[in-house]
Amino acid sequence: MYIVGLNGSPNKDGNTSFLVNTVLEECTKLGAETIFIELGKIMGELKNSYCTVCSNPCTGNCYKGTDLEEAFRILKKADGIVIGSPVYFGSVSAQLKAMFDKTRKVRANKWLYNKVGLGVSVGTSRFGGQETTLKAMHDMMLVNGMIIVGDGYIDDDCGHHGVCAMRPANEDENAKKRAAISARRMVEVCKATECIREK
């Protein structure tokens, strides 16, 4: 089982990174192989960070030979993807949105189809837009044909939209608890859906 974590924050070692890695660490304990991707660095190094629909259908030329192309190849091999973003005006970061805007060729090739997706989000306050940010992530996942899970597990509860944290995330005990629970759900659903994924 292969689970990828995407840090959609422009900050390399911030709250979102901590939360995504908390989920990945629990997934590792449950037997999954994991990898962590820094989207801020990848998107910042692109000549054209934002999709301009330079070709239709998309050829992927704008990111050919870049770390984004390699990231997409890693995502293609994944069983599950943990997507993290800080709250920016009630939604996802520009870096995460820009990456998903560049998945037009990925979507056409169905590379994310039936991948299990989990969203985690961090805001400045307890009710700081985390759930609307998760909903934006859900939309991006659904458009790519992904299977969305929340932060519940049968031994705990049904959960909610995903993991919501208040910064500093490493001091948010509830978020850390929900991250561990969501990892169990992620691994469970990855196992259950393995037969419907093409690698």
Does residue 197 register a pLDDT over 90? yes
% of the chain surpassing 90 pLDDT: 97
Does residue 30 register a pLDDT over 80? yes
Query: pLDDT tens, 91-114?
Result: 999 999 999 999 999 999 999 999
Place 66 in a pLDDT band, splitting at 50, 70 and 90. Answer: very high
Predicted local confidence at residue 198, as pLDDT: 80
Does residue 128 register a pLDDT over 90? yes
- The pLDDT mean for the chain works out to 96
Burial class (CB in 10 A: 0-12, 13-18, 19+), 116: buried
In degrees and rounded to multiples of 5, residue 69 shows phi and psi of: -60, -45
Predicted local confidence at residue 62, as pLDDT: 92
| pLDDT (mean) for 56-75 | 96
Residues in the chain: 199
Amino acid at 88: Y
Of the candidates 34, 31, 35, 26, the one whose C-alpha atom is nearest the C-alpha of residue 156 is 26
Query: pLDDT tens, 40-53?
Result: 999 999 998 999 99
| pLDDT (mean) for 179-186 | 98
Place 199 in a pLDDT band, splitting at 50, 70 and 90. Answer: low
User: What is the fold of 2-193?
Assistant: Rossmann fold (3.40.50)
Does residue 4 register a pLDDT over 80? yes
In degrees and rounded to multiples of 5, residue 37 shows phi and psi of: -120, 130
Please tell me the distance from the alpha carbon of residue 107 to that of residue 105, in angstroms, as a whole number.
5
Q: Where exactly are the structural domains of the chain?
A: 2-193
